[in-house]
Structure 1
Amino acid sequence: MALTIPTHFKLKHPHIKHRLSNTHLELITVRTTRTRRPTTRTPSSFSTYHHNHIFNPKSCSTRTVLTRVSGDGGGAFDATPQQSMPSEIEALKGSSPNFGDGYLALFVRMLGLDNDSLDREQAVVALWKYSLGGKQYIDAIMQFHGCINLIINLLKSESSSACEAAAGLLRTISSVNLYRDLVAESGAIEELTGLLNQSSLTSEVKEQSICTLWNLSVDEKHRVKIANTDLVPLLIKSLDDEDIKVKEAAGGVLANLALSRSNHNIMVEAGVIPKLAKLLKPDVEGSKVIRKEARNALLELAKDEYYRILVLEEGLVRVPKIGAAAYRSFRPVLHSWPSLPDGTEVERSSKGPSRFGASELLLGLNIDGKNIDIEEVKMNAIVGRTQQQFLARIGAIEIEDEKQSENESSTSQRFTLLPWVDGVARLVLILGLEDESAIARAAESIADASINEHMRVSFKEAGAIKYLVQLLDHRNDAVQLAVTRALERLSVSNYVCQKIEAEGVIYPLFNALKHSEINESLMEKNLDILARILDPSKEMKSKFYDGPVNGSKKVLDVISPNDTTGLAGNMDEITISKSTSRKDVLDSAVIARLVEILKTSSPNLQRKAASILEFVTIIEPCMDKIISVDIESALDAVFQKKFSNDMEYDIDGQQPEAHALEIEEAGLAISAASRLLTKLLDFEQFRQTINPTRFTKLLRRILMSNIPLQNKDWVAACLVKLSSLSVPNLDFENPINMEVTLYETIPRLIEQIKTCVSPEAQEAAVVELNRIISEGVVDSTRAVAAQGAIYPLVKLIEEGSTRAVDAGLAILYNLSMDSENHPAILAAGAVPALRRIVLSQRPHWIRALHLLRTLPT
């Protein structure tokens, strides 16, 4: 220690008063017997040592002296008194920095392990109160080397008062940047972890301990250390503490821990997101501090795409902060007749308008004396729109962040979290503003939030679709890309996709595709939306199933089945306008652009372009346009992928995962192109313009390639159709039919036997497989064995139906004719299964016996 107290110094009389002539410090001993004081909230309850000029019991409160430092990371506490400074401390400000060093040294010495526990407790309380004066008082304590270790040792004390004072003193010391590392390196984090693990801990001790961690977590290296201990579950548990100060401190530590991305996985696995999200729910009471810390922590976690989904699933939407000034351009739309947020108008009543305009005021919820049953999602949209428009009108949105926004150089990366009802309405409100940056950020947030059907329908009901479609023609490229991405994510919902088409999205999307300078990311999203709208399977379904029903035309999935009556709009008109708009925009330039994508783009874009062109083939008047743009060369380009044709493709130097993804994408593109070619072959004018022999050769090579099995179905169908057009021969002697059987049919049936859970489907597959083998297709038994069919067939003869067992035994018997298959049949456990069938004389036991005789048993 810098100053040493003589070992012979003792306090001999309980009423001796000691004064220092050169200081204002005075020590009064009032203790006559050693007794423990009851634990209380603040250090001022200890009256054993009174400093008449420093330790004033009425002026010390650990609850009110320290405040957050907003500029150094969100966790530190200012060591300077922020409220009313004790008059005694103010008087000592101008005195020598070394005032009372003799008695300060006494208190530090009393922390020693050789002293009585009550003396140590009283000393740490006195030092804690002394440290509350500010940084110069903390500096005076820290001049005694080794005092930190003595303070940390007191965290093990059985006295709650001593633990609280020790944690409180560490809290004030760690609030100074200079000493923060020293506190952490002395083992404070480990001791605080052990302390907080105690079940019978008072709120006061919890508060001081967690606040110390709050200060330490300001630094990156300490955050990592805290997260790698058992503290994260304890902090999460503290969020449910009855003491609001403990909850605030725990939230502050978690918010700081979330600043390090390396801690995110630990925090999420510990269950931090549901706990923090609960604090932001509108029906949960909480202080402003804990809400702020919870929001900061979740916003940091939401920077990761996966964790952002978890936050959204808790009912919170990430909304960009654009500044209060941006909302000044908001101009609410005035309606002469009420409408829902998505623009749907309520049908007018046959009665005259209300004398006092009540029908407009009440939003048309009661028409003709019948209450319209509006869905909950529509009611939430109305509530959200009303609340957000009211806040925008009075200028209350982000008003409390105005000063903070002015101090920051940019607000481009700032967000907040709102409950989904308010968040959805706020994002739609921003779409209607004039700030281009705000619009782009809101559209990006809509895309991020569209993770499930509930959120997509919520944005639709809130009126986002109309704004997004209108913004597709925006002059700002960033806005165009953001709104296209939002529409692409929303179009995943079939219900919302129909609303997107009804708003006239096809024309601007096709118009954007015509521009050759469009970037690939925007092109991909455009094609995604168009492929979902112009889905050929939907169109064929509508042709076959949309017919007259009771005198009215049925429209498939045009509106939600729960849509209410009383809303304007005629289904027949919607259907007619859809078909008309589709034909109008499908001009030669659009088709030529799609064919160009087939020729030059990536497999992912080729697949989507082929799907749209397949839809175009359904509209017969477009066939001349398709033929005129050289569709044959485009299909040829898709089918001539090297990795699709070359079964021995060298993958050295390429990651296996990347190669597998490449093969999968190529397979999808080839399957879509094969389906398009199959549909085009229905038209005589197309068949007269192509070279079927070339396509047959290309498709045969693809069929024997290593593309995924599920992508070979349309390749096989197209080959069969080409073969039937040239030489109508369906016998197995036809090489094409044989190849289809070996490389598509047999593998598909075996996969069905392996993976299908339906006994009926398994039975149908094994019966069909037995038929193929019994008809003597060349090398069919080898193909069956090569595809790994022996193990599932052995399992099937034990568990399958009578018909399935019969077919399975027949296949295994054929396979046993080749001795090369004997090891695999034996390894699959066929012998015990066959013996059980024979001994129990189950049906087909004779066939099982014949199979046993062929095996080397």
Structure 2
Amino acid sequence: MFLQVKEQSLCILWNLSVDEKLRARIANSELLPILIKFLEDDNVKVRESAGGVLANLALSQSNHKIMVEAGVIPNLAKILNTEVVESKVVRKEARNALLELTKDEYNRILVMEEGLVLVPLVGAAAYKSFRPALYSWPSLPDGTKIEQGSKGPSRYGASELLLGLNIRDRNLDLEEAKMNVVVGRTRQQFLARIGAIEMEDGNKSNSEEGTSSQGFTLLPWMDAIARLVLILELEDELAITRAAQSIADASFNEHMRFSFMQAGAIKHLIRLINHPSDAVRSAVILALYRLSISDGVCLKIEAEGVLYPLVYLLKQSESATSQGLIEMIVNMLSRILDPNKEMKSKFYDGPLNGSKKGMNTTAIPTSDGNETIAQESSSSTDGRELVEPTVLNRLVDILKKSDLDLQRKAASILEFIAASEPCVEQIISADIESGLEAVFQQKPLTEKGYGIDDEKPELQSLELEEAGQAVSAASRLLAKLLDYDLFRQSINSLHFTKLLRAALMSSIPLHNKDWVAACLVKLSSLSGPNLDLENPVNIEVTLYETIPRLIEQIKSSFSPEVQEAAVLELNRIISEGLVDSTQAVAAEGAIFPLVKVLETGTERAVEASLTILYNLSMNSENHAAIIAAGAVPVLRRIVLSERSSWMRALRLLRTLPT
């Protein structure tokens, strides 16, 4: 009797939840956690009704937040992930509820974290162009053939399906990821061969349509990855575009990116880079960029020959290549052409520094942490394509006109190219000097006190961070180019010295000034000692980079040795009587950490700290800060304990107004 009442009550609630106003009242009541609990009820009618109510509640976007906070996503995802045969109604309502929730980007990630992936419904008609190798036998992602039995494979892939589904039961030494690839691929290819690929998703009507559906379904990640890769093999442009976009969205963690690589998505994506459709190209490059976040996957993408098609697109005129596509290409190239790699191996066939790996080999990490040497595709560029005038001009134009993030990436690519001396002449011809000048003349660098009193400090802080990264990358590029006589003879050294000084004295983050200071010192040493006597370079580097860096080490270092070395170096700079050094030390907030060193530092650090504080105390304006930092009681303890530095402590104590 009670069971019947519960079923009837839920059915009434299911009907009432059709009304939008009533949905809000149900979601904000105590009924919501009860409905979620009913998803695990033993009675199938109860589960169906509870799922139906939750699916209706999800139709109102205002209910999404409270539903997610109540924990509805894991419970609904469990229904779709289970291997146990579940009621079709329950699965349908769970899928509908989750599909509504995934319209929010944050919720979409939560759903994917539960092992479900959004897959576009492209219509059964689109799969008619799928041409599997008939009578084929399954193989592993690396091309290894699975040993055949006595019977040959069937035309529709039934034997492959059975083999794939039972591969775990066979005595095969396979990695789990490769097993999953085989299982997922055989399932999806079998469904495609018999024309039932989307029937289980309620999309039968699409088999009679010539256009792709705009809907989505949710599949467990193993099947979803296999189906997305299968869609990439179709001819329908919209289907391919949507599949590539789904791959980009699903590549949110290391596991998913590695799984797409194992499933063979990379070779299909690279094949589609030069597709006639701009929408396809954009979606494909975005997917590759998201996949390349993983270092191992990025190496695999490079080994498959992605550089040539990317560079080819970059060479096209602006009318043929959209600005958004150019930005994604630059993003992709900056990740692949990392100047920290063995750069010159990209330009020459010979091994680098005695390495046995030639230009055409790449180390691909395996799941067990070892490396295997993979042969690069013959279509992979050796780097000379990047030195073409069209490509260099495009990169220099990005330095001149683009936003700060793209400037940083373009500078990184140019630094990679500049690793080869024969390329320097072409880089100079592309007017690299004007590109570097544009980066160093950004607004945050040329305006003193930029962002200090602004109404939107968060935005200004972000812009300063991005400007600092762009300037740091441009400084690395300039430092690399300064290694070559040809460039040194062509550059206006005085002008760039002034620009670098302005960058050094700007408000960009301290860690971005490292390369600016190094490049400035290098440029100054190459230009002669009497470049500008009024403002010597070494003084500015010390005041705006060295002193702030040493103070930061004193503040944040957990190593007594590092802290001691920083205090001793700071003491040396002040003791040499560098102009404005004591003012710079006080302005950078060094007094408080120096007083702390008196309590926790080594004996040598304490002596150096006392000397610095004494020099600072010569300016009465610093007395208040020294006292506020708690120096007086610390100094008295040092004097009373008669430590080796007690005389210095007493001398400092006498200068303070105590």
How far apart in 1 are the matches of 2:360 and 2:657?
65
**Of residues 83, 87, 90 in structure 2, which corresponds to 1:290?**
90
User: How big is the shift at 1:286?
Assistant: 3.5
Match of 2:324 in 1: 521
Question: Does the aligned pair in 1 maintain the 2:135–2:152 contact within 8 Å?
Answer: no
Match of 2:511 in 1: 710
**Of residues 86, 109, 124 in structure 2, which corresponds to 1:309?**
109
Match of 2:42 in 1: 242
Letter in 2 for 1:516: E
Are residue 437 (structure 1) and residue 238 (structure 2) matched?
yes
**Of residues 403, 408, 431 in structure 2, which corresponds to 1:607?**
408
Letter in 2 for 1:630: D
Question: Does the aligned pair in 2 maintain the 1:732–1:738 contact within 8 Å?
Answer: no
Q: Pick 1 or 2: higher relative contact order, CA cutoff 8 A, min separation 6.
A: 2
User: How big is the shift at 1:853?
Assistant: 2.7
String of CA shifts for 1:275-327, please: whole Å, max 9, x gaps.
22222213355322222222222222222222212211111111111122221
Q: What are the residue-to-residue correspondences of 1:353-752 with 2, within 5 Å?
A: 373-400=173-200, 401-403=202-204, 405=206, 412-514=213-315, 515-517=317-319, 518-540=321-343, 547-548=353-354, 558-562=363-367, 571=374, 574=376, 581-649=382-450, 655-728=456-529, 735-752=536-553
How far apart in 1 are the matches of 2:72 and 2:470?
42
String of CA shifts for 1:619-662, please: whole Å, max 9, x gaps.
22211211111111111122112232102447989643333333
Instruction: Report which of the two structures shows the higher radius of gyration computed on alpha carbons.
Output: 1
User: How big is the shift at 1:464?
Assistant: 0.5
Are residue 346 (structure 1) and residue 144 (structure 2) matched?
yes
String of CA shifts for 1:413-440, please: whole Å, max 9, x gaps.
4111111111111100000011111110
Call closer, same or farther: CA 1:786–1:248 in 2, change over 3 Å: farther
User: How big is the shift at 1:557?
Assistant: 6.4
Match of 2:72 in 1: 272
String of CA shifts for 1:458-495, please: whole Å, max 9, x gaps.
10110100111111111111111111110110111111
Question: Does the aligned pair in 2 maintain the 1:372–1:564 contact within 8 Å?
Answer: no
Call closer, same or farther: CA 1:785–1:827 in 2, change over 3 Å: same
Are residue 221 (structure 1) and residue 24 (structure 2) matched?
no
Between Structure 1 and Structure 2, the one with more helix by share is 2
Is the partner of 1:472 in helix, strand or coil? Answer: coil
Is the partner of 2:467 in helix, strand or coil? Answer: helix
String of CA shifts for 1:147-186, please: whole Å, max 9, x gaps.
xxxxxxxxxxxxxxxxx4xxxxxxxxxxxxxxxxxxxxxx
How far apart in 1 are the matches of 2:641 and 2:379?
69
How far apart in 2 are the matches of 1:548 and 1:357?
50
Is the partner of 1:474 in helix, strand or coil? Answer: coil
Q: What are the residue-to-residue correspondences of 1:133-172 with 2, within 5 Å?
A: 164=5
User: How big is the shift at 1:726?
Assistant: 1.2
How far apart in 2 are the matches of 1:796 and 1:635?
42
Letter in 2 for 1:559: I
Letter in 2 for 1:271: G
Match of 1:325 in 2: 125
Letter in 2 for 1:320: P
How far apart in 2 are the matches of 1:421 and 1:486?
18
Question: Does the aligned pair in 2 maintain the 1:433–1:439 contact within 8 Å?
Answer: yes
Report the more deviating stretch, 376-385 or 482-491.
376-385
* Ranges in structure 1 where 5+ consecutive residues have no aligned partner: 1-38, 43-163, 165-203, 365-370
How far apart in 1 are the matches of 2:565 and 2:15?
69
Is the partner of 1:241 in helix, strand or coil? Answer: coil
Are residue 785 (structure 1) and residue 580 (structure 2) matched?
no
Question: Does the aligned pair in 2 maintain the 1:724–1:730 contact within 8 Å?
Answer: no
Call closer, same or farther: CA 1:295–1:740 in 2, change over 3 Å: same
Report the more deviating stretch, 241-250 or 424-433.
241-250
String of CA shifts for 1:745-765, please: whole Å, max 9, x gaps.
222222233334444433333
How far apart in 2 are the matches of 1:831 and 1:498?
59
Letter in 2 for 1:539: E
How far apart in 2 are the matches of 1:796 and 1:216?
70
How far apart in 1 are the matches of 2:593 and 2:361?
42
String of CA shifts for 1:52-91, please: whole Å, max 9, x gaps.
xxxxxxxxxxxxxxxxxxxxxxxxxxxxxxxxxxxxxxxx
Q: What are the residue-to-residue correspondences of 1:837-856 with 2, within 5 Å?
A: 837-841=638-642, 844-856=645-657
TM-score by length of 2: 0.88
Call closer, same or farther: CA 1:759–1:221 in 2, change over 3 Å: farther
User: How big is the shift at 1:411?
Assistant: 6.0
How far apart in 1 are the matches of 2:64 and 2:248?
23
How far apart in 2 are the matches of 1:533 and 1:272?
40
Letter in 1 for 2:363: V
Call closer, same or farther: CA 1:639–1:255 in 2, change over 3 Å: same
User: How big is the shift at 1:682?
Assistant: 0.5
User: How big is the shift at 1:585?
Assistant: 4.7
Is the partner of 1:397 in helix, strand or coil? Answer: coil
* Ranges in structure 2 where 5+ consecutive residues have no aligned partner: 154-158, 165-170
Question: Does the aligned pair in 1 maintain the 2:117–2:250 contact within 8 Å?
Answer: yes
Q: RMSD in angstroms over aligned alpha carbons?
A: 3.6
Call closer, same or farther: CA 1:728–1:333 in 2, change over 3 Å: farther
How far apart in 2 are the matches of 1:285 and 1:447?
31
User: How big is the shift at 1:836?
Assistant: 3.7
User: How big is the shift at 1:805?
Assistant: 3.3
Match of 1:762 in 2: 563
User: How big is the shift at 1:738?
Assistant: 1.0
Call closer, same or farther: CA 1:745–1:556 in 2, change over 3 Å: farther
Match of 2:61 in 1: 261
User: How big is the shift at 1:611?
Assistant: 0.7
Q: What are the residue-to-residue correspondences of 1:106-125 with 2, within 5 Å?
A: none
Question: Does the aligned pair in 2 maintain the 1:752–1:761 contact within 8 Å?
Answer: yes
Report the more deviating stretch, 693-702 or 375-384.
375-384
Call closer, same or farther: CA 1:541–1:686 in 2, change over 3 Å: closer
How far apart in 1 are the matches of 2:35 and 2:641?
65
Is the partner of 1:319 in helix, strand or coil? Answer: strand
TM-score by length of 1: 0.68
Report the more deviating stretch, 452-461 or 667-676.
667-676
How far apart in 2 are the matches of 1:231 and 1:845?
73
Report the more deviating stretch, 539-548 or 743-752.
539-548
Question: Does the aligned pair in 2 maintain the 1:547–1:553 contact within 8 Å?
Answer: no
Call closer, same or farther: CA 1:676–1:40 in 2, change over 3 Å: closer
Match of 2:167 in 1: none
Are residue 809 (structure 1) and residue 640 (structure 2) matched?
no
**Of residues 607, 611, 624 in structure 2, which corresponds to 1:823?**
624
Query: How many percent identity over aligned positions?
Result: 64
Call closer, same or farther: CA 1:545–1:239 in 2, change over 3 Å: farther
Question: Does the aligned pair in 1 maintain the 2:521–2:537 contact within 8 Å?
Answer: yes
Letter in 2 for 1:261: Q
Question: Does the aligned pair in 2 maintain the 1:373–1:564 contact within 8 Å?
Answer: no
- Number of aligned residues: 641
Is the partner of 2:490 in helix, strand or coil? Answer: coil
How far apart in 1 are the matches of 2:240 and 2:451?
48
Match of 1:775 in 2: 576
Call closer, same or farther: CA 1:730–1:686 in 2, change over 3 Å: closer
Question: Does the aligned pair in 2 maintain the 1:531–1:608 contact within 8 Å?
Answer: yes
